[in-house]
Amino acid sequence: MEMSNENEPEVDIKASEIEYVSYGFEHHLPLIMNLVDEELSEPYSIFTYRYFVYLWPQLSFMAFHKGKCIGTVVCKMGEHRGTFRGYIAMLVVLKPYRGKGIATELVTRSIKVMMESGCEEVTLEAEVTNKGALALYGRLGFIRAKGLFRYYLNGVDAFRLKLLFPRAEPQPFHSMAADGDDSHEYNEHTLWRKSPLLPTQHVN
């Protein structure tokens, strides 16, 4: 999804003035729709939005400045070819508010929930011409996993980006056998280590 190159005056704000909330109310839906429709190149139906925010509301976050919705991230997660993964579908920050870490915070919050939910990786697509998004996700630790020819309706190619969560080796736990009990058990829970997270699509 390509970001406009139009120059607009930046807004002078402090990080403390930005409020981040997770999707939780029906009145949030039109706010998300308006942002995405205004900034992103791909058209979406209301059913697409509902698919994401109704099934995975915990993965959708919004940023507000003095009551105005200025950014959003919409994601999902689920099984894909034997891997439980997260997917970043939409990321938007209004142009005057870009470059202030808002997109980073939105995406980081979503990825944190994905990690805590057991995702093994996160993927997304970004237009090859979207230098800002590619640089941003590169700083987050995403790699370019695949090129997608004419992926978008506007005919622009895309990169599929992927972030893998490092996984620690399972650590065995041996019970004491001093009392003659030779049984033992292993901790089979995978422990996820946080990878570098910083923030598809439309951010500087």
22-78: pLDDT as tens digits: 998 889 999 999 999 888 878 889 999 999 999 999 999 999 999 999 999 999 999
Task: Judge whether 1 lies within some domain.
Answer: no
What range does the domain containing 20 cover? 15-202
What is the C-alpha separation between 35 and 37, in angstroms, rounded? 6
Quote the pTM value: 0.77
- Whole-number pLDDT of residue 153: 82
Alpha-carbon gap, residue 35 to 70, rounded angstroms: 8
Q: Tell me, what's the pLDDT at 8? A: 61
Evaluate whether residue 6 is within a structural domain: no
Give a yes or no: residue 55 inside a domain: yes
CATH code of the domain containing 108:
3.40.630.30
Q: Which amino acid, one-letter code, is at 106?
A: L
At 170 the pLDDT is 59
Contact 54, 164 (CB under 8 A): no
Count how many Cα atoms sit within 13 Å of the Cα of residue 86 in the half-sphere of its side chain. Answer: 29
Helix, strand, coil in percent for the chain, rounding step 5: 25, 30, 40
Number of domains in the chain: 1
Distance CA 21, CA 172 (A): 39
